[in-house]
Amino acid sequence: MQRRHLMQAGAALAVTPWLSAHAETYPDRPIRMLQGFAPGGNADNIARTIGQEIGKALGQPIVVEAQSGAGGTLAAGSVARAKPDGYTLLLATGGHAVAGALYNTLPYRTVQDFDAVSTITFFPFLVVTTAESRYKSFADVLAAARAAPGSIAYGTAGIGSTHHLAGELLAKMAGVQMLHVPYRGDSASLTALLSGDVPIIIAPPTAVLSNIKGGKLRALAATGPQRWPGLPEVPTVAEQGVAAYDVRSWAGVLAPAGLPKPVLDRLNAEINKALLLPSVRARLEEMGGEARGSTPDEMKTMVANETQRWSQVVADAKIPKQ
């Protein structure tokens, strides 16, 4: 036992000079930032927006790579396996915590196998219906659901999506039964709403805002704790009878666990500086989000809490694990 402890201590001493030298020269080559969704989507655009600015500050380019598939878990697995040297980062979204709740097995541990760097942006979902709908408010939807349990259907981007879990949590907290109708992505659920296949959908602002402004859709509620600045006239779910309801998705940066603290601190500082720039804030707001950074500990705690919350929702709603 004593010999093993001595060997571990010796290894730690050997690594310490490397960490110090590494931190002093970091970064000396381009940094990869993986994101787990299609090129050109929200995650990709967020990664490029923040990556461009922190790359300028660090003096090395941030190369954004799309490694799409399996709800973002392929990219997360690649980052979890990477060397913790600050040259491989993950643009994670709220789906990272959802995957931790939904998948039976993953090639990584959702919380423990990553160092949290900083959050970047938060955004709510919108509960939306058509302009001609008989539902004029979300309170009308709740009243109809209470009058005829299970008769009100809502569409989402798919089984196990954050949208879906948001709907299940909403039904539980409101004490109503609603029928979930999954589609293959936001575009498909929007098409179903416009064609009359479902009376309401839950979707991110970017997926529905143009149709709201064009007069085809009506937003009934925002799922965050405050009204969404993009549609300040639309009340929150909590304002309409479901107290304390708060569901927002997010994006932030994760790194492989074991990142040298000076490197972690540098990345955190540069991300938070970038989030103060008016151009970055405006771009994130265009994508429906609120720019907001964090400390590493704050983000780590948030991911852990989100994973726990969604695990409970999956269990309560008896959503099949994947």
Q: What is the CATH number of the domain that holds 133?
A: 3.40.190.10
Q: Is the pLDDT of residue 252 over 90?
A: yes
> pLDDT for 184-240, tens place per residue?
889 999 999 999 999 999 999 989 999 999 999 999 999 999 999 999 999 999 999
The span from the CA of 115 to the CA of 303, in Å, is 11
Q: Are 238 and 246 in contact (CB under 8 A)?
A: yes
**DSSP-assigned beta bridge partners for residue 32:** 63, 88
Same domain, 223 and 86: no
**Does the residue 233 lie in any domain?**
yes
The pTM assigned to this predicted structure is 0.86
**Does the residue 321 lie in any domain?**
no
Same domain, 55 and 12: yes
Per-residue tokens: 272: 């938070």
Confidence of residue 322 (pLDDT cuts 50, 70, 90): confident
Q: Are 82 and 256 in contact (CB under 8 A)?
A: yes
Q: Is the pLDDT of residue 66 over 50?
A: yes
Q: Is the pLDDT of residue 22 over 80?
A: no
Same domain, 231 and 262: no
CATH number for the domain including 116?
3.40.190.150
Say which residue the tokens 């064609």 belong to. Answer: 195
Same domain, 140 and 175: yes
Same domain, 233 and 270: no
Same domain, 88 and 134: no
The span from the CA of 204 to the CA of 212, in Å, is 12
**Does the residue 322 lie in any domain?**
no
Same domain, 233 and 253: no
Among the candidates 192, 215, 240, a domain finishes at 240
Half-sphere exposure of 231 (CA within 13 A, CB side): 27
**Number of separate domains in the chain:** 2
Same domain, 118 and 155: no
Same domain, 236 and 142: yes
Q: What is the mean pLDDT of the chain?
A: 92
Q: What is the mean pLDDT of residues 40-62?
A: 95
Report the pLDDT value the prediction gives residue 160, as an integer from 0 to 100. Answer: 86
Same domain, 187 and 259: no
Domain that holds residue 31: 2-123+249-316
The span from the CA of 121 to the CA of 105, in Å, is 28
Same domain, 138 and 70: no
Report the pLDDT value the prediction gives residue 71, as an integer from 0 to 100. Answer: 83
Q: Are 133 and 320 in contact (CB under 8 A)?
A: no
**Does the residue 169 lie in any domain?**
yes
Per-residue tokens: 261: 């603290």
Among the candidates 210, 240, 270, a domain finishes at 240
Q: Is the pLDDT of residue 7 over 70?
A: no
Among the candidates 196, 223, 240, a domain finishes at 240
**Does the residue 205 lie in any domain?**
yes
Q: Does the bond joining 27 to the residue before it have cis omega, within 30 degrees of 0?
A: yes
Q: Are 261 and 268 in contact (CB under 8 A)?
A: no
Confidence of residue 4 (pLDDT cuts 50, 70, 90): very low
Same domain, 253 and 115: yes
Residue 198's nearest CA partner among 157, 162, 247 is 157
> pLDDT for 86-121, tens place per residue?
999 999 999 999 999 999 899 999 999 999 999 999
